[in-house]
């Protein structure tokens, strides 16, 4: 047994994943970063090492595509455990987003996003579960999104991949709870990261306007909450007041981690549904206004 934490973070070389790794490193953990680009990994390793709290701490980098070859993913994760000891927390943060109107998105967008965001979380989780079960301890985090709690204009390729994580998390939690393994699903809002900047370049106007409903968060803040909820073993991890409302509203048949959480859901669900319907009404009117604007500018283009 090791006396320090041992998290593996996929997508640990950028954005939310990098901040999750820093947060754990500051708490004395030995970190494994998993992503594809080696240069980005090495650069991040250096950045993380600045936060060391003791001189034994290690940051290990693994360059692998988490969505491609399961056998390979399994092998490299096992090798990392041989070097650093058994993993006690896996944070599935590798993911990407493509926005656009359904008919404008190429078929490979749907295929790629499902591969990276969904299978890219299934593979590493499947690789670490046997050791966690043997040791009767562990934490697995799935980074979903607010777009994994409700479907919004522009997210027809992305949202389903984030909804899928929720289904996986619920089913898996029921299997592994007796082994003292706890699953956390995080639903962050828009967060200021390189991935978000990239997504914003091609985002439809409707999606931008709708997303402005909740403000853009800092990756450090999102990461702090994710790590805290994972350590506490909370199934639901949300941020901010709209995150709170969405989590209550979409709690469905998901497990609760405390009696207070269950009570809050029972008391607030109805009232949040009313609030939610007002939001949906305003989103519909954004979509309609944008459509009218477009049609107007198209007809003036034609007459010119």
Ligand X SMILES: CCCCCCCCCCCCCCCC(=O)[C@@H](N)CO
Q: Does 97 bind ligand X (CB under 6 A)?
A: yes
| Residue 158 falls in the annotated catalytic set | yes
Question: Which among ligand X, ligand NDP, none contacts residue 213 (Cβ within 5 to 8 A by kind)?
Answer: ligand X
> Rule CB under 6 A: which residues touch ligand NDP?
10-11, 13-17, 35-37, 40, 65-67, 93-97, 116-117, 120, 143, 145, 188, 190-191, 193-196
Contact by Cβ (8 Å): 165, 194? no
Residue 6 — φ and ψ, nearest 5°? -140, 70
Q: Which of residues 141-180 bind ligand X (CB under 6 A)?
A: 145-147, 152
Burial class (CB within 10 angstroms; exposed 0-12, middle 13-18, buried 19+) of 237? buried
| Binding partner selected for residue 245 from ligand X, ligand NDP, none, CB under the kind-specific 5 to 8 Å limit | ligand X
CB count within 10 Å of CB 34 equals 30
Map residue 285 onto helix, strand or coil: helix
d(CA 188, CA 147): 9
Task: Tell me: does residue 195 bind ligand X (CB under 6 A).
Answer: yes
| 244 belongs to the binding site for ligand X (CB under 6 A) | no
* Options 155, 158, 187, 238, the catalytic residue: 158
Sheet with 138-143, strands from edge to edge, namely 59-63, 31-35, 7-10, 89-92, 138-143, 181-186, 236-237
Comparing CB distances to ligand X, the nearer of 278 and 298 is 278
Residue 2, classed as helix, strand or coil, is coil
Residue 208 CB partners (closer than 8 Å, separation 6+): 200
Please select the residue that binds ligand X; options are 60, 242, 261, 269, rule is CB under 6 A: 242
Residue 10 vs 145, nearer CB to ligand X: 145
Helix, strand, coil: what percent of the chain each, to 5? 60, 10, 30
The nearer residue to ligand NDP, 94 or 248, going by C-beta atoms, is: 94
Active site residues: 144, 158, 162
Binding interface with ligand X (CB under 6 A): 97, 145-147, 152, 189-190, 195-196, 199, 211, 213-214, 242, 245-246, 249, 272, 275-276, 279
């Amino acid at each position: 047994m090791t006396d320090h934490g041992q998290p593996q973070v996929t997508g640990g070389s950028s954005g939310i994943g990098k901040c999750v790794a820093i947060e754990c490193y500051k708490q004395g953990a030995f970190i494994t970063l998993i992503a594809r680009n080696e240069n980005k990994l090495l650069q991040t390793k250096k950045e993380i090492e600045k936060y060391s709290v003791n001189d034994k701490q290690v940051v290990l980098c693994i360059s692998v595509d988490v969505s491609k070859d399961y056998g390979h993913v399994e092998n490299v994760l096992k090798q990392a455990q041989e070097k650093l000891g058994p993993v006690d927390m896996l944070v599935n943060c590798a993911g990407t987003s493509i926005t656009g109107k359904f008919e404008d998105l190429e078929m490979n967008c749907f295929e790629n996003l499902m591969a990276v965001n969904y299978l890219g979380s299934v593979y590493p989780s499947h690789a670490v579960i046997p050791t966690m079960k043997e040791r009767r301890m562990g934490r697995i985090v799935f980074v979903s999104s607010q777009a994994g709690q409700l479907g919004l204009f522009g997210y027809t390729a992305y949202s389903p991949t984030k909804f899928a994580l929720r289904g996986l998390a619920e089913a898996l939690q029921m299997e592994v709870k007796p082994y003292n393994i706890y699953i956390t699903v995080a639903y962050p809002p828009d967060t200021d990261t390189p991935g978000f900047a990239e997504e914003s370049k091609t985002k439809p106007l409707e999606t931008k306007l709708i997303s402005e409903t909740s403000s853009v968060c800092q990756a450090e803040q999102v990461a702090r909450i994710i790590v805290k909820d994972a350590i506490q073993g909370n199934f639901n991890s949300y941020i901010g007041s709209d995150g709170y409302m969405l989590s209550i509203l979409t709690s469905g048949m998901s497990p609760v981690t405390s009696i207070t959480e269950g009570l809050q859901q029972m008391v607030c669900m109805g009232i949040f549904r009313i609030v939610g319907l007002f939001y949906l009404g305003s989103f519909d009117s954004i979509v309609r206004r944008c459509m009218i604007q477009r049609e107007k500018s198209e007809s003036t283009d034609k007459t010119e």
